[in-house]
Structure formats: C-alpha cells, structure tokens
Amino acid sequence: MAVQKLYAGAKLREIRSRLQLTQKEFAARLGVSLPYLNQMENNNRPVSTAVVLALAREFGTDVTELSTGDSERMVTDLREALADPVFPAPAPSAADLRLVASNAPGVARALLALHRAYRQTHERLASLDEALGRDDRMLRASPWEEVRDFFHYCDNYLDAVDRAAEHFAQGPESIEAKAGKLLERRSIGLQFSDDPMLRRYDPQRRILTLSTKATNATRRFQLLHQIALLTQNELLEATLDLARFQSDEARGIAKIGLANYFAGAALLPYRAFLTAAQETRHDLEMLADRFGASIEQVAHRLSTLQRPGAKGVPFYFVRVDQAGTITKRHSATRLQFARYGGACPLWNVHQAFETPGRFLRQLAETPDGVRYFSLARDVSKSGGSFRAPVRRYAIGLGCEIRHAEQLTYADDMDLSHPQAFEPIGISCRICARPDCHQRSVPPLEQELRIDPDRRGVLPYAIAEQSGP
C-alpha cells in the first residue's frame, strides 16, 4: 500500500507563527535548511518524518495537528459550492480544491461566504421575498449558518471553554451539589415547576426555575448551562470577540452554543469521559448511565474529543429530523455533511425512526472509497403529556473503519469483506454515483443523457465522470 504524503504547509506556518519564530529560527530548530522549510510551508514538498519528529521533540507539538480535518471540510464545502450551475463547467478537480484549501484557506472561506450570500439572495428572489431591498441584513449570511460554520471550523472543540468546564467538574462533589453551592453564594434560588419551559432565570427575583417535565439528564444540562452564563461570562464574551460575528443575532446564538458546550463538557469532563469511553469501548448506554447523561449528549461529546495531545477516536455526529433535515452536524472524520439539503437516504440514520430504542449498525463506503462504521438510533423526545407533540429525531455516530475495533458495537461484524459495505453519498446534488436507486435529484456537476425511448430506475442517465 502506498504511503500518503503529508502536505501541511498552512499548518506549519500556523505553528511557526504561534511560536513567534522566523523561518530561519524555525528551520534551525527543526534541523532543516531554510529553502527546505520554505518549500514545505508552500506545499512544494511534503512534511518529512524527521520534521514531524522534530516538531514533537522540540516544541511538544501534537503531530495529529498536521492532519486535521479542516482541509477536508473545506474541500467538501468548495466542491458543493462549485457544483452550482452559476460556475462554469468543468468543475475544478479534487487535487485543485485540496491545493486551494491547503495553501489559501482565507480565499476559500471568502469564496464560500460569497456563494452563500448569492444562494440566499437567489432563493429570496425566487420566493418573492418582500423584505429583500428594504433591509440590508437580508443580504448577510443567516446568523444560524454563521454560528454553525464557526463550530464547524473549530473542530467543535473549544479548548479554553472545555478546560474551564473540566475544572468546574473536578472534586468528589456531585454536579448538583457544586451548582447548588454556587447559586447559594450568589443568592440565587433554585426551584422546580411543571412548566414545559425547560429553564427560566429571573435576574430581578434571582430565581432559576427548571422543569419537572424534562428528564434528569436534561435538567442537569440546563442547570449547567445557566452556571456557564453566570460564572463564565468573561470567557464566553472573549471567545465571541475572537469570532467576529457579523450580527448581534449570530453572536447571541453563538453564546447559547458556547454555554451549551460548557454544560456538555462539565457533565462529561474531558479526561474522565475519555478514559471511560476507552474502558467501555464506547458503549453509549454504559457511558450515559455512568455520567447521568442522555444517549444524544454522550454521542455528541464523543465527537468533540479532539484535545491536542489527548485525542479520542475521531467520530462524526449528526442529528436528523423525520424529513431528513440535518439539525446538528459535526465531523472529526473525512466524512463531511452537505451544507444544503438532506442527508443521503441510504444512510441508516433514516431507518432509526422505524426501530425506536434500538441501535442500528451499518458498514458504509463513500464515493471517495473511504469506509465507515455507522451507528444510528432514534432519540425522540416526549412532550410530557398525552396530547403534547413528540419531537422526533434520530442520531448518527460513526468513524472510519480502521477505528471500528475500538467500538463494542462492531465486534461481530465482518469489517474486511468489501461486499459488506453499502454505498452512501453526501447528498444527491453532489453525489457522483451514476446508478443509485434512491437518487432524488440529478447531480449538478455531471451531464445528463435523456432518451424518451428508454427508462431505467431514473428517467435519465448520468454520464460517468472522467479524470480525478
């Protein structure tokens, strides 16, 4: 098997900048010549094994930083954006997209932001949005999407917030006891109500109210969310300042997201949770029981274990509704989710609604030839009474097949047989598979062949792609 060369020029420049070293000083510490370092930083040469070892030895660098999923995320996003018919054909090759993502990530992000603004404007015009032209804010990125992209490109791991939450959770006392003492010191009362609102804080009366209709795991999470807002405001605001959101709405949504991150990280402290995950071989039910959390909270937390020097298995995590719309997404793997539209219908996460309370397992292969182990489960949430509406969701958790042996769920599966892997894609609009029986729309970047005298599974044929 050929060894894949590591091109990580942008990451090398980032590490050097963080260390505040000149190229000459950096080259000397790594034991290479200045021209050689320059070539590596510009991706004219791959990063050698000797340089990787020198980075770890001289600077204590977590060498997995050199192969983070940021470039893969950007390549997927660029490929989807450039498949839009507004761009001339043919689309850039995968090699060209990787070159842009590695060498000019700032330009790539600017292009993605421009395409997002174009798409939103186009959709609003198509729907005769009356607000367009009256309010400049309508031309900006959706606050929700802006925040989603912020977490997406942070690898869904925020070191300062994660460590602050871990520090809060340290010690023999329970989370409830710690939170209770903290509220008492601030003269804040804690009460419970059968109100369906999960959490309500009245700053004037200094009373925090939690709903008895919520599960115990949800109440604990909401309690910790409010603790984050009360005790970590400076940290959260400083993080928001660095993000430079375009609107107050985006900043407000992001602050809720950061408080949620703190709550999850305090409920499932990094080192203790990572150790437990390895001991239980990532058994979600055992972890949920041990930490007093929900299955969804545990699955999402597993996808955030990306602390430099102490990384867990790189997982993807996704939550979908019954319509197939992705409501939460994150990937520490090479699998990246489509920015627009639903998830691939061949993915087992959609079948989870049919088997509530059961884990579904799937061996899957994406068009790029990467194989995954996928786990799915329904996590629908009761409204708390007979007539209350049920919120229907399913979650998907998975990893590349080389990590599957670390999961108890994969023990009796044939991981080596090629025929055991089902073909899945990202979304129909950018999937290159010409013969998928579940295709909902034609791919944007491939030529269609229409023959009124022939009909297969689809009313058209898709021309095979050529080249890389």
Q: What is the pLDDT of residues 383-436, one digit of tens each?
A: 777 777 888 999 999 999 999 999 999 999 999 888 899 998 877 777 777 778
Report the interhelical angle of 94-103 vs 105-126 (nearest 10°). 110
Residue with tokens 């599966």: 413
The owner of tokens 């969701």 is 393
Give the CA distances from residue 184 to residues 189, 190, 200, 227, in Å, rounded to whole numbers and listed in that order: 7, 9, 17, 12
**311 with 302: CB under 8 angstroms?**
no
Residue 244 contacts by C-beta under 8 Å, 6 or more apart in sequence?
none
User: Would you state the pLDDT for residue 260?
Assistant: 96
Question: What is the Cα–Cα distance from 13 to 337, expressed in whole angstroms?
Answer: 28
pTM: 0.73
Low-confidence residues of the chain: pLDDT under 50: 1-3, 128-139, 467-468
Joined together, the tokens standing for residue 91 give 């689309």
Q: How many CA atoms lie within 13 A of 327 on its CB side?
A: 13
pLDDT for res 448: 79
Backbone angles phi, psi at 316, to 5 degrees: -105, 150
**pLDDT given at position 137:** 47
What's residue 188's pLDDT? 96
In SS3 terms, the chain reads as: CCCCCCCCHHHHHHHHHHHCCCHHHHHHHHCCCHHHHHHHHCCCCCCCHHHHHHHHHHHCCCHHHHHCCHHHHHHHHHHHHHCCCCCCCCCCCHHHHHHHHHHCHHHHHHHHHHHHHHHHHHHHHHCCCCCCCCCHHHHCCCHHHHHHHHHHHCCCCCHHHHHHHHHHHCCCCCHHHHHHHHHHHCCCEEEEECCCCCEEEECCCCEEEEECCCCHHHHHHHHHHHHHHHHCHHHHHHHHHHHCCCCHHHHHHHHHHHHHHHHHHHHCCHHHHHHHHHHCCCCHHHHHHHHCCCHHHHHHHHCCCCCCCCCCCCCEEEEEECCCCEEEEEECCCCCCCCCCCCCCCCHHHHHHHCCCCCEEEEEECCCCCEEEEEEEECCECCCCCCCCCECEEEEEEEEHHHHHHCHHHCCCCCCCHHHCEECCCCHHHCCCCCCCCCCCCCCCCCEECCCCCCCCCCCEECCCCCC
